[in-house]
Chains A and B, each alone.
Chain A
Amino acid sequence: MADLVSDDLCMTFTNPQTGAAVEALKDINFTLKKGELLSVLGPSGCGKTTLLNMIAGFINPTSGNVALGGNVIEGPGVERGMVFQQGALFEWLPVSKNVDFGLRMKKTDKAESEALVEKWLDIVGLQGFGDTPTYQLSGGMQQRVALARCLVNDPDVILMDEPLGALDALTREKMQSLVLELWKETGKTIMIITHSVEEALLLGERLFVMAPRPGRIHKEYNLPFAERGLKESLRDIKQDAHFSEVREEILTMIWNMEEEIMGRA
């Protein structure tokens, strides 16, 4: 029963010089059940990253709280793995040392961690790259290392902040399949932030569309595409009429929000 529960979560940033306050998040309430796949969409600056950072425990909410499996989150922890937009890999370490970083911090037995690293490199499709320096990898490969580094620690929740944002279309599609595969195989709770409406539809069993000022959940969807993506080709799903319909709806929604922001600014 490791559900992720957000209870009246609020975050207000105050500029220490001007004293001006930004309501980055206001009254966020949701429950994410174990094994659910959530994607979060929204115009820039609506508080997506802030929400994720609070779940990861990097910043503390001004009021309200998030709890995982009943425990209120008060700081970073191994049960919540994080994947950043730019891998945030340790460039002084080779791939395998990056992947087993968490294990080494826990002082896991050497043979055991070697086997785990082997296994995860295999799953993300990087077998044989263990000794390669990370700066010699392509962007997509680096992102896969970051995924493996996160998964090897066996977290309950995986948080991803625009993990595929910097990749080209083709690599991106492959990585989307990979994320779906991992979701199916590991059954982990995954929360993924994206800027691409298509990606949000494909990778979201549930989908939050957030709105800015104050940051809040504007609309919630339950979608069948992630489930279908496990069996069908992603490209076929994109051709689907229902898919297009929802996509257009969300695009219009976000477009209007952006217009509103521009108008106000």
Chain B
Amino acid sequence: MLNWLSDHRASIAAVIILLLVIGFVYSIYVGRKQTKLRSKDEVFGDPERTRGGWYWSLCGISALMLVWFYFSWGIGRAYFPDAANEMCQIAKLEEAVSPIKAALPIGSRYYKSTTLVARNANQLAVIEAQLPTAAFTSDEQAQLTKIIGSTRRLLAVSSDPANQSQASRDQLTSLSSDIEALSAKLRQGPGDRTPSAEALAQPRWGTTHIEIPLLPETAKGILFDEVAVSAKEVAKTFNKIRNNPPANEAIIAETRAEIDAIKAANKSGSFDEDTAATRNAYVKSVERIFKRLDDGHIFPAASLDGVNAAIADLDDAKGEAKGGLGIVDALFFPGDGVVKSRTQCTEQSSGRWLPKPTDVVATFFRLANPDIESGGGFKGTTLLWWKWLPIGDVFAFFTPDWIADILPGEYARHSADGTVTPNFKDGVLAFAQGDINLGSVPMLDGHIWDSLFRVLVALGLGILLGVPLGIYMGVSRFFKSFFDPLIELYRPVPPLAWAPLILTIFGIQDDGKIFLLFMVAFAIMVISARTGASGTQLTKIRASHSLGASDGQILRNVILPNALPEILTGIRIAVGVCWGTLVAAEMLAGTTGVGFIENVARTVSDYELIWVTILIMGLLGLAFDLMMRWVIGKLIPWRGKG
């Protein structure tokens, strides 16, 4: 069932999107009608205006979902399931011609030759001005100036069309016609090419970690794939073409000899250390520029015009062959489309970091599957399930080992006949270490439970200790003044700033995280209980005194209930803050928990997993808050009415 759903996620999405559009339109229709109806009996500012209005909720939710579907390319995938595969083939062609384009204005604004001429001419001017006159004799200086002049000559000769080598002329012409042949092939159209069985057997788009199937699945795709293969060959040829004008040969030979002569002089002469270094460095930089220009990378500008035009025409042909796909791409695949990198085709922009809603659901169900053997759960732990918890472990958790140590007597020793008879002290130790079988109870288990458990334990401790302290601080000058500085000193520090310290002291297991969260919850509970307690109306206190209540009774029967609204609000805030802190703490260390999942997902850039954890955290946070709101409504209906 789940597999079927997973394989058909595109079609399911198509139906959902349709429903969302209908819901969106319908809700606006109803909303407008209702607004008209009610405008008569509600003035602006009437709080009544904020009640109800399910249709605007529907409108908002469907709009949000549609935006999500759109920018995650969910709509594109649902209605054009083959588009990505075809775009992948086009991306292959794009990848194949990119080396040619990089040398042409069509791909990089300037001819590569133009850039080379400009840069080298500049550097020659700079180096000529920097000639170190102190290090070279005047003869040598003249020599070096000449070398620089010759190198500059190379630039001029290579750029002149009259000097271009015949070989390069022929090669460029043939290259242009090769490219034109590719354009012609594209213009002929896909015809009735049929995809290979291998291509058809590929997993569908988005169902595996390889996002987009690589082999062409449609006639159009095959055409592009074929052209891309040929284009790759053309690009290889292009990279090998050199312009070595005959007029350059004499200059090159002569200049090389001159450079070698100076290098020989550098070696044989006896110079002091500084001079030697200066001489060597200068000659080296002159030679570097010369070497860049002696191997035919510079072409006359006009000679490449043909290739540039051919590539422009290939782009046109590509656009024509793309046909309707171009419009689909522009409309339903917002962002940079599909890009082919060495081994795979990947979605770009929002399609990359925003997973499709259906994929998120699929990933969630994969994680939620409690059967770890069949690939469920995450890193060997379920998301939320149950297990048998030995009762002995629970007691062991609350019983430290030293209890056994402080009992009178000695632990058992092995006797002369080689047997060990455990005594009472051994029994207590076994109990404290959880080695006694007391049966098992079913217990929740999994990443979510681990996170919840940490929050709940910390919150419970925070309430248990924080509320009494807060109440006493609300009624006693000593408690208030004694504890206030302590709490106000540690509370403003962001909990995560404490994390490295606390994780070091308590270890990265549950203890550290629970303590960290406890600190957060404790401060919040103390402050809210204190505010609630000190906010008790004086007349109520006086009334209860007159009615014969003792101090303890007043604390329990008047101050505590009076502080209850604040305490519950405090719990609500504490839950939120703990939850936020926990995830961050789990990201720092640990091997379970929702934050741990996200941390792993982050390191492998698994965006679906990241979003799943974000959604889990959001939904759990929401559930907490709704629960607290319900509890507050139930427990303190008098709130704000005293």
Contact = CB atoms under 8 A, between A and B. Distances in A.
Nearest to A136: B641
Contacts of B558: 90
Nearest 6 pairs of A and B residues by beta carbon: A76-B545, A102-B547, A135-B641, A88-B539, A78-B548, A91-B642
Contact of A91 (B546, B547, B553, B641): B641
Interface in B628-642: 636-638, 641-642
Nearest to B560: A92
Interface string A76-95: 11101110101010111100
B638 to A, nearest CB: 4
Interface in A100-154: 101-102, 104-106, 133-135, 146, 149-150, 153
Contacts of B638: 91-92, 133-135
Contacts of A153: 547-548
Interface string B534-578: 000101101111111110010001100110100000000000000
Given A84-B539, A135-B638, 6 more contacts: A78-B548, A88-B539, A88-B543, A101-B557, A133-B637, A135-B642
A76 B543 CA distance: 9
A76 to B, nearest CB: 4
Contacts of A104: 557
Contact of A81 (B537, B539, B546): B546
A58 interface: yes
Contact of A77 (B539, B540, B548, B641): B548
A91 B543 CA distance: 13
Nearest to A83: B543
Interface string B428-441: 00000000000000
Contacts of A80: 546
Contact of A78 (B542, B547, B553): B547
Interface in A146-177: 146, 149-150, 153
Given A84-B539, A135-B641, A90 B546 contact: no
Contacts of B564: 92
Select the residue from B543, B553, B562, B564 with max chain A CB neighbours within 10 A.
B543
Nearest to B553: A105
Nearest to B545: A76
A58 B542 contact: yes
Interface of A: 56-58, 75-78, 80-82, 84, 86, 88, 90-93, 101-102, 104-106, 133-135, 146, 149-150, 153
26 contacts: A75-B545, A76-B542, A76-B545, A77-B546, A77-B548, A78-B546, A78-B547, A78-B548, A80-B546, A81-B546, A81-B547, A84-B539, A88-B540, A88-B543, A91-B641, A91-B642, A92-B561, A101-B544, A102-B548, A104-B557, A105-B547, A105-B553, A135-B638, A149-B547, A150-B547, A153-B547
A74 to B, nearest CB: 13
A135 B539 CA distance: 17
A209 B63 CA distance: 72
Contacts of A90: 540, 557-558, 561
Contacts of A133: 637-638
Given A56-B542, A133-B638, A88 B547 contact: no
B538 to A, nearest CB: 9
B580 to A, nearest CB: 32
Interface string B340-361: 0000000000000000000000
Nearest to A105: B549
A117 to B, nearest CB: 13
Given A92-B564, A135-B642, A58 B545 contact: yes
Contact of B543 (A57, A82, A134): A82
A118 B642 CA distance: 24
Given A88-B537, A88-B539, A82 B546 contact: yes
A74 B545 CA distance: 13
B539 to A, nearest CB: 4
Contacts of A75: 545
A105 B540 contact: no
A91 B636 CA distance: 10
